[in-house]
Amino acid sequence: MAAGELWNRVNIPYPCATSSVHMEITPPTVKFFKALLVENEEVLKLLRNKIFQTEIRLLYELMYILNNSYRGNKTFKGLQLVEQCINRLKNMKLDTALQELVELCPNQIQMAMCMETCECNVPSQPVLEWTCLKVLGAGKLLSCTLSRCSKAFILSKKQMKWAEFLILNLVITSMLSRLWCFFRGLLASLSNLYQRLLKLLGLVAQAQPMPYLTDTALPADMADFLDPADAVMLRKLSAFNAHLEERKAKLKTRKKASTKVKNKKQSKNVKEDLGVPVERGVGFDAVKQLSFGKEVSEEQSKKEMFEKLTGEATSFALMSASMEEMIQWCGSEGMRKTKRLLTFLRLKCKRMKCLEAAGYNVQRKLRLFRQEVCLALSPQTSALRTFRSPAQRMTVQRRRSQPLRKRFMVSRARTGLNTSGVFGHQKQNELEMFLKDFQRSQAASRTTLQVTNSDRNDDIDDIFAIAGL
């Protein structure tokens, strides 16, 4: 790096006391200010990131520990070069310069007031040129840091191949790779910020010309100012970001077009949308009921078609293909519950498909699986029966086991066993109530038997008396 150039100085002199100027603004100028503040905020976030600062502290700790025992190693010397670049970046005080630029730019409230008066205070041309020099110097320093991180990474990787200091070199390589990613992102953000600064500088120079850099000229792009490898990387990143922005713009336009089409359809006459002849006396509610019945019939026919496909499927492979179509249709129709059930069953179908491909006989499983799919496509009540929660299953089992519990309690009472230790005090009271009811029922049955027996005896005596016996 050339030491005589202005961007390479340790302390770049602040230009002048006039840091802001008053100028007329237009809506494009306000857009430039907003974009500049967004890019500036992104750079400040990266510089003040806690993970980034933790990685730098880790580098400092390693350098302090390895200062005596690891001094003559080439990897250690590569780490020293990376540390020098980081220290130089700190001494630049780039974050304070960018924070001062934010303070000079108007905030959102001031921008709203400026839109009414069409006048605003903006950073002056010397301040913007001084900030551009700071950004250029930081970009060049980050480019140098990236190359030194790569060299130190290669040296540490060679030592790992030679099986020397494996754990230490593993820590160093991971740390250097993370630092390289941070520095690359910071360099890309600085490149975008430099482009915004140049655009704003051109507007301010036209309104209030106050040149500060008379001997040097600022480059039109930071990629031309850096090394060829870093320039290629920046161009790739800029192309990728432009592609992402184009995709976002296309998605926004599609959403707007879809919303417009929906609004037009809603604003049209219901009769024209449905294509159903409606009498004059028929109101909107009746037409709505007709449309709802039409949708229900279409949905029912679609479900019946899917049930027919599942019934005709002779293997899990065919079943999987039909289920894919079913899940897509349920997603398009907004049937979330049915879609979740079918997605769960599709996982089971894939497992059985693997078993079928391995040569296992799964015909019985296929018949049961068809029933489950049909229940999932049927109304929610039948579908919920097949997919009960564990709590619901426990309640059903308890209801089924109640007669068995009563039988067990009666048998325990007849044998005369102590039930208090088994069921507890509360269950013992219940048992006593049940035994009392049981004894009452037995007594009532005995009395009825006695009455019937007495009646039978009287009838027999009368018969014998008539016969003369």
Does position 457 have pLDDT exceeding 50, yes or no?
A: no
Task: Report which of 327, 324, 353, 352 is spatially closest to residue 341, judged by C-alpha positions.
Answer: 327
At 322, the amino acid letter reads S
359 alpha-carbon distance from chain centroid: 39
453: left (phi over 0), alpha (psi -120 to 50) or beta: alpha
At 346, the amino acid letter reads R
290: left (phi over 0), alpha (psi -120 to 50) or beta: alpha
Q: Are 209 and 125 in contact (CB under 8 A)?
A: yes
For residues 356 and 364, give the distance between their C-alpha atoms in angstroms, rounded to a whole number.
Answer: 12
Q: Which two tokens stand for residue 240?
A: 């990728």
Taken in order 224, 229, 232, 233, the sign of the CA dihedral is negative
Average pLDDT over residues 45-60: 93
Average pLDDT over residues 153-182: 91
Q: Are 329 and 302 in contact (CB under 8 A)?
A: yes
Tell me what the pLDDT averaged over the chain comes to: 75
Q: Are 17 and 104 in contact (CB under 8 A)?
A: no
Does position 69 have pLDDT exceeding 70, yes or no?
A: yes
Name which of 12-16, 208-212, 270-274 the model is least confident about. 270-274
In sequence order, what are the residues at sequence separation of 6 or more whose Cβ sits closer than 8 angstroms to the Cβ of residue 329? 302, 306
Element (H, E) at 121: strand 119-123
Does position 239 have pLDDT exceeding 50, yes or no?
A: yes
For residues 293 and 206, give the distance between their C-alpha atoms in angstroms, rounded to a whole number.
Answer: 68
Does position 369 have pLDDT exceeding 90, yes or no?
A: no
For residues 326 and 43, give the distance between their C-alpha atoms in angstroms, rounded to a whole number.
Answer: 48
Residue with tokens 């006391």: 17
DSSP state of 69: T
How much is the pLDDT for 21?
81
Name which of 228-232, 413-417, 456-460 the model is least confident about. 456-460
Tens of pLDDT, residue by residue over 370-420, are: 888 888 777 544 434 444 455 555 555 555 555 555 555 655 555 554 444
163: left (phi over 0), alpha (psi -120 to 50) or beta: left
The overall longest dimension of the chain from CA atoms, in Å, is: 156
Buried b (16+ CB within 10 A) or exposed e, 61-82: ebeeebeeebeebebbebbebb
pTM beyond 0.75, yes or no: no
How much is the pLDDT for 409?
60
Q: Are 171 and 254 in contact (CB under 8 A)?
A: no
Tens of pLDDT, residue by residue over 199-215, are: 888 888 888 787 777 77
Burial class from Cβ neighbours inside 10 Å (0-12, 13-18, 19+) for residue 354 reads: exposed
Tens of pLDDT, residue by residue over 169-199, are: 999 999 999 999 999 999 999 998 998 898 8
Does position 270 have pLDDT exceeding 50, yes or no?
A: no
DSSP state of 461: H
- How many C-alpha atoms does 192 have within 13 Å on its Cβ side? 20
